[in-house]
Amino acid sequence: MTTIPASRPVQPTLPAPRPTAPRRASRGGAAPVASRRGALARFDADQADLQRAEALLARARAAQASDPRSAFELTHRAALRGAGVLVTRANRERRRKLPLNVWTALDRLGGPARERAEQIHELVRERDRLDRDPAARPDPELLRRHLHDTSAHLARVREEILSDLPAAMVALSG
């Protein structure tokens, strides 16, 4: 009869540590690069949101004559997105976040944002009226004004986004 030798418990082996380059003393160069990357990432996000708002507004203009109801809704959504960019930017620097209602948040920001929030009240009421009555059509003058004011507002949002960038980056952004 043959005996089987007693086996030892198998211990897991860990992978060998990868060799790393020796750390250099920090000269303060890494933080500004990371901070610039963060700023560019936020800029890209703001630009993308603004471009979506502008695309909605372009669709609204195209639908203005054929489907004014849809044009009003698209314009309102573009206005919401544009205002959302401002609120998001403001919340990045605030300890206490602004309210979720974008118009209330704009009102709290003050200045031109507050003026925009005050302009929009009548348009919000018109949107509510349209939501309640599926057969209703928007007031043509309100639609025209909403398109115009939202376009102007998105242009101001674009200026604000670009104003935070260094001049060299603004030149690259077109």
pLDDT at residue 163 in the model: 87
Q: What is the pLDDT of residue 38?
A: 79
**pLDDT tens, per residue, the chain with 174 residues:** 555 555 555 555 555 656 665 555 545 545 566 677 877 888 889 999 999 999 999 999 999 999 999 999 999 999 999 999 999 999 998 899 999 999 999 999 999 999 999 999 999 999 999 999 999 999 999 999 999 999 999 999 999 998 877 655 555 555
List of residues 6+ apart from 140 with CB closer than 8 A? 68
pLDDT score for 40: 82
Where is 134: in which H helix or E strand?
none
Q: What is the pTM of this model?
A: 0.75
Would you tell me how many other CB atoms lie within 10 Å of the CB of residue 162?
16
CA dist 132 and 44 (Å) reads 37
Res 36: pLDDT: 73
User: What's the Cα-to-Cα distance from 120 to each of 65, 69, 70, 170, rounded to whole Å?
Assistant: 22, 17, 18, 30
Q: What pLDDT, on the 0 to 100 scale, is given for residue 167? A: 59
Nearest to 112 by CA among 148, 154, 57: 154
Residue 123: name the closest of 87, 153, 85 by CA: 153
Biggest distance spanned by C-alpha atoms of the chain: 104
Residue extents of the structural domains in the chain? 44-173
